[in-house]
Amino acid sequence: MTKQEKVDFVIETLNKLYPTIPIPLDHKDPYTLLIAVLMSAQSTDVRVNKITPLLFERADNPYDMIKLSIEEIREIIKPVGLSPMKSKGIHGLSQILIDKHNGEVPQTYEALEELPAVGHKTAAVVLSQAFGIPAFPVDTHIHRLMYRWNLTNGKNVVQTEKDAKRIFPEELWNDLHLQIIWYGREYSPARGWDLDKDIITKTIGRKTVLDDYYKKKK
């Protein structure tokens, strides 16, 4: 298979498996998505989706959020982990949105990454899922799969994002990053990996990855 044939196979397979693509984090607008993505750092989407309704019942916009103290936010979001940092970030970015952006979530990497606790990946998720701006957020699933599929050298998420943007058509980025996340969770997890169920890796996988898998199975 040529590299282009591998890319085409990935796209075709993912479109068959995920013709409609659910967004993992529950939200109703760009602000609630931004908060949910921030909360998801080193946590799970399932856990975050249980806690965000409790927070958004109290404050689902920056004006109401700054009426809560950092400690009040922290108590609500404690189950998702890293609550001291996340509560400061949520309160701080809400104030900045009011002061600098009329309470609206900005639509550029630069403005988003200036917000407390908002890194490149969080900004990319918001741009793609809230505003439909082409972006390719790389999480652990995408990083793992792009390496397994021999589509990146896997050295770091920055390189993986560059490689993904280079080989996949821009108009597919927003769907593909979600499709790969779902595929990674369902068919190609880090633990309990069953290669027989992982049709993409079985078909185009990096030789060293496949060799290591079969050695461990013996």
pLDDT digits (tens, 9 = 90+) for 50-73: 999 999 999 999 999 999 999 999
88 & 50 share domain: yes
Whether 218 shows a pLDDT value over 80: the answer reads no
CA atoms within 13 A on the CB side of 192: 4
Q: Which two tokens stand for residue 17?
A: 């498996």
Whether 100 shows a pLDDT value over 90: the answer reads yes
Whether 203 shows a pLDDT value over 90: the answer reads yes
- CA nearest neighbour of 80 among 45, 43, 114, 49: 43
In the annotation, is 121 catalytic?
yes
Active-site residue, from 29, 50, 60, 139: 139
Confidence of residue 216 (pLDDT cuts 50, 70, 90): confident
36 & 122 share domain: yes
Domain boundaries, position 74 = 30-131
Q: What residue has token string 């899922």?
A: 129
104 & 38 share domain: yes
Percentage of the chain beyond pLDDT 70 is 100
Active-site residue, from 121, 163, 196, 216: 121
Which one of 114, 131, 148 terminates a domain? Answer: 131
41 & 76 share domain: yes
Which one of 98, 131, 164 terminates a domain? Answer: 131
Q: Which two tokens stand for residue 89?
A: 């970030």
16 & 90 share domain: no
Whether 200 shows a pLDDT value over 80: the answer reads yes
- How many domains are contained in the chain? 2
Largest CA distance in the chain: 61
116 & 171 share domain: no
pTM of the model: 0.92
User: pLDDT of 124-157, one tens digit each?
Assistant: 999 999 999 999 999 888 999 999 999 999 789 9
Which one of 76, 105, 131 terminates a domain? Answer: 131
CA dihedral in degrees (6, 12, 16, 20; nearest 10)? 110
150 part of a folded domain: yes
